[in-house]
Amino acid sequence: MLLPAVALALLFQYLPMLGIVIAFQNFKPWTGFLHSQWVGLDQFRSMFDRLDSRQVIANTLIIACLKIAFIIAVPAAFALLLNEIRRMAFKRLVQTLVYLPHFLSWVILGSILIDLLSPDGGLVNRMLAGLFGIKPVFFLGDGDWFRFTAVVSHIWKEFGYSTIIYLASLAGINPSLYEAAEVDGASRWKQTLHITLPALLPIITVCATLELSNILNAGFDQIFNLYNPLVYAKGDIIDTFVYRTGILGNNMSFASAIGLFKSVISCVLVVLVYQLAKRAANYRIF
């Protein structure tokens, strides 16, 4: 029964790893792996010498760190607020509404955001002009605004789904703790501060440490569907740079070197954050 799954894993996960060798070659498709010139670590040296490569790595770190920070804080805060709602019908309605964006692809959401944020008649800019008299903002054409838009739209899409983890943790808190606190005269804020937050701290620690392994993943699907040449300086990330360099620019070796660099760093981070999660929150996979 395991044979088909093992075969698919070997075919699509492990066999393509043989292509890593082109990161150490001056690869030409018409000469193939066996006859392309070996250049050792030249592609990696070129990666760190090029200004655009360093800028791409910096962009990735900035965007990914902002996403990680907010995608931990916002769902936790929202779960605490949602947990205070006593009308179950309204609570379920809110949960459904905030979960929904997670199931939409960035192709769809990207098109929606481009229309909403357009400086030429977009709904957001019309509201800003009508309510506050602000001139149209080029959200997807200005580098600083693009980073802000990328982070906010990512949070809007994913925070509802991430809230499930915290709601499940809240459901596991012993109700007798709250009853005892009420008897002692503790307010809802005091109960949240001394019961709810300490109970959430282990799962917050686990989520935070595991998210650190994605510090070089700033979201290819999102950035690819939203960015344009105007924001390459501050919005281009490693994955989109690899796509443009390797696929569009036909420089397979250089793109593979960047991708391999990212994969090695990500693998090291996965091991480190797993050790941190095991020590800080007793989180174990095995």
**Inter-residue long-range contacts of 141-147, CB under 8 Å, 24+ positions, other chains counted:** 141/228, 141/230, 141/231, 142/230, 142/231, 143/230, 143/231, 143/233, 143/234, 143/235, 144/234, 146/226, 146/227, 146/231, 146/234, 146/235, 147/62, 147/63, 147/66, 147/234, 147/235
Residue ranges of domains in the chain: 22-281
Candidates 3.30.530.20, 1.25.40.80, 3.40.50.720, 1.10.3720.10; CATH matching 22-281: 1.10.3720.10
- Give average pLDDT by consecutive 10-residue segment, the chain, 286 residues: 93 87 83 81 83 85 89 88 84 86 89 87 84 83 87 90 86 85 84 85 80 78 88 87 84 85 82 76 64
Count the Cβ atoms, other than its own, within 10 Å of residue 133: 7
- Residue 53's pLDDT is what? 81
Predicted local distance difference test score (pLDDT) of residue 281: 64
Q: What is the pLDDT of residue 2?
A: 92
Query: Would you state the pLDDT for residue 232?
Result: 87
260 with 23: CB under 8 angstroms? yes
- The pTM of the full predicted model, rounded to 2 decimals, is 0.82
